[in-house]
Amino acid sequence: MRRPLCDINADGKLDKMEGENLMREVHSKFSDKEWNQDAFEAAFKQADTDNDGHIQKDELHAFLMVRAQEKGLIA
């Protein structure tokens, strides 16, 4: 299975640095607002549902699905 490019150390999850790198890369595609570090920190904490300091694939998927529903992108 191919690993995501954002998972720099190939451990199958995103640490805070990897998550921030990913979010900074895609931020302008999904928001017209300026980057906000506090908002990133809050979102990372919200996505990391088991509070282990990493975001696993299932946590990222669940977080993104909720965000997409909130923005009306999916039903």
Q: Where are the domains of the chain?
A: 14-21+34-70
Helix (H, G, I), strand (E, B) or coil at 22: helix
Residue-wise pLDDT for 17-68, tens only, equals: 999 998 888 887 778 889 999 999 999 999 999 999 999 999 999 998 998 8
Distance of CA 17 to the CA centre of its chain: 11
Matching residue, tokens 């993104």: 64
- The per-residue pLDDT for range 24-33, each reduced to its tens digit, is 888 877 788 8
Judge residue 51's burial from the number of C-beta atoms within 10 Å of its C-beta, 0-12 exposed, 13-18 middle, 19 or more buried.
exposed
Establish how many alpha carbons lie within 13 A of residue 35's alpha carbon, considering only the half-sphere containing its beta carbon. Answer: 12
What CA–CA distance (Å, rounded) separates 54 from 8?
Answer: 13
Examine the pLDDT at 2 and tell me if it is beyond 60.
Answer: no
